[in-house]
């Protein structure tokens, strides 16, 4: 390296919060909870005919209800990220630098 080039490296800690949603306000489709016997009959013209077991909420879960997390996830919010950077003194006079990272 030269006196005109500075290299930096490190590890950054990131705490990323999840968006807050009010309880029982949002839904998400979970394929494992879908029950084909609760599906309606879809006609060729695009309309549906409800069956005796028809459930319009088939496969849907609501946030914060029945054990579903409020944000639909229990993923951790603590993250580590590598950082690298450089600074180069273009003319060697300490007045102009080129930086990147």
pLDDT tens track for 69-96:
888 888 888 999 999 999 999 999 989 9
**Comparing C-alpha atoms, which of 54, 58, 60 is closest to residue 41?**
54
Contact 18, 48 (CB under 8 A): no
CA gap 8, 11 in Å, rounded: 11
Beta-bridged to residue 78, according to DSSP, are 15
pLDDT band at 10 (very low <50, low <70, confident <90, very high): very high
- Contact at 8 Å (CB) between 63 and 23? yes
pTM over 0.75: no
């Amino acid at each position: 390296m030269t006196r005109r080039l500075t290299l930096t490296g490190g590890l950054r800690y990131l705490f990323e919060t999840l968006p807050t949603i009010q309880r029982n306000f949002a839904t998400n489709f979970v394929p494992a909870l879908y029950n084909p016997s609760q599906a309606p009959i879809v006609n060729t013209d695009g309309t549906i005919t409800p069956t005796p077991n028809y459930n319009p909420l088939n496969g849907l879960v609501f946030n914060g209800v029945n054990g579903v997390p409020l944000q639909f996830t229990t993923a951790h919010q603590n993250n580590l990220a590598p950082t690298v950077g450089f600074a180069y003194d273009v003319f060697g006079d300490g007045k102009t630098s080129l930086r990147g990272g």
